Homo-oligomer: A and B are copies of this chain.
């Protein structure tokens, strides 16, 4: 009976399988990029190191700080700004405010996945296949505060995990996330009450919220393939 633990914010111990969740927008954008044919994603928290990694790898440079594209980067962090032409077969380096830090905080995990609402079922199934003892979901939050949309995302993934195995040993935090999703019929409406959704809508990224709330729309798994720097590949 695997243990299911959830951190509303990093850090937390991630001894076995970790799932990092940053619904608005890093892990949603990662799923969107691989859906468009990206071959590899490298996640780097520091923007100077991100520039160097992109140059070394001949990779696209994608990133934002507080929702705004970083100067000199090829793209910001909106899942809607990419085309298959631009990303297919390419590598990308991604540098964001909160999600990158959660990936670093979960670095010790045996397996590390990026989870979102758009790929909740695929991630849930893979996490359970990989788990020896536990799955730990790590919500990224926003500048050290809990983000509603990440807890909704965690609740979606937990609900899908329980579809596969009803005997999971749920932590209290996992129960809270699950109840939050069970109580909310309309995920997108719930997400729009989140503080970071307000920020994004004010910056003109309202459509990103609708995209991020489309449950199960991108049935793919983004999984770490190498640790330093953290490299990710897709599988189905």
Contacts and interface: CB of A to CB of B under 8 A. Distances in A.
Interface of A: 5-6, 8-9, 145-148, 151, 171-173, 175-176, 179-180, 182-184, 193-196
Contact of A179 (B8, B145, B173, B183): B183
Contacts of A184: 179
A2 to B, nearest CB: 16
By Cβ-Cβ distance, the 8 closest A-B pairs, closest first, are A148-B172, A183-B183, A146-B173, A8-B8, A172-B195, A146-B172, A172-B194, A147-B172
Contacts of A180: 176, 179-180
Of residues A145, A172, A183, A193, which shows the largest number of chain B Cβ atoms within 10 Å of its Cβ? Answer: A172
A180 B182 CA distance: 10
B176 A151 contact: yes
A137 to B, nearest CB: 12
Contact of A171 (B146, B151, B173): B146
A8 B6 CA distance: 12
Nearest to A196: B172
A133 B179 CA distance: 31
A172 B152 CA distance: 11
A146 B195 contact: no
10 contacts: A5-B145, A8-B146, A145-B173, A146-B171, A148-B172, A151-B176, A172-B195, A175-B194, A176-B180, A179-B180
Contacts of A195: 171-172
Contacts of A194: 172, 175
B145 A171 contact: yes
Contacts of A171: 145-146, 195
Contacts of A183: 179, 182-183
Nearest to A151: B176
**Which of A5, A8, A183 has most B Cβ within 10 Å?**
A8
